[in-house]
Amino acid sequence: MAIHENLLGGPPPTHLPDDPEPRELLAAGTPPADVAAKHPASSLAWAQLADDAYTAGRMVESYAYARTGYHRGLDALRRSGWKGHGPVPFEHEPNRGFLRALHALARAAKAIGEQEEYERCTAFLKESSPTAAATLS
């Protein structure tokens, strides 16, 4: 039996292709804005920008960065065969940028009083990856 086989007949897990350069640049201390400028499709770079803005109390900015990372991640998921639902495992490191952006979007939405968006993103995160929901919260 394959690991992550869905016995209930749902869609298979989506695994984004690895793009290590943005992750390596961030780990080396490159400013997230520089990484996002060089790799605008990287959800990870946008998620880091969202986290930094949130930490600094810039909630609207955090929301905007997170929304960008979220949409870039949706684009990548669709290119990888995702049909709008199904598992996006946190255990697969290339998925973490999207999941972090989704979490950041929920957090920022709550901070600016956008309750419906907060609830939608929180549910989406839990459905996509219970591990991400538990780890990032």
11 within some domain? no
Q: Alpha-carbon distance 16 to 123, whole Å?
A: 21
User: For the chain, what is the domain count?
Assistant: 1
Q: Which long-range contacts (CB under 8 A, 24 or more apart) does 66-69 make?
A: 66/101, 66/102, 66/104, 66/105, 66/107, 66/108, 67/105, 68/101, 69/42, 69/43, 69/44, 69/45, 69/97, 69/98, 69/100, 69/101, 69/104, 69/105
Asked if 43 and 77 count as a contact pair (C-beta separation under 8 A), the reply is: no
Domain that holds residue 114: 31-136
16 within some domain? no
pTM to 2 decimals? 0.93
Q: What is the pLDDT along the chain (137 residues), one digit of tens a residue?
A: 344 555 567 899 999 999 999 999 999 999 999 999 999 999 999 999 999 999 999 999 999 999 999 999 999 999 999 999 999 999 999 999 999 999 999 999 999 999 999 999 999 999 999 999 999 98
First to last CA, the chain: 32
118 within some domain? yes
Q: How far is CA 111 from CA 62, 64, 77, 105, in A?
A: 10, 13, 27, 10
| Residue owning tokens 């600016």 | 112
Q: Alpha-carbon distance 98 to 80, whole Å?
A: 13
14 within some domain? no
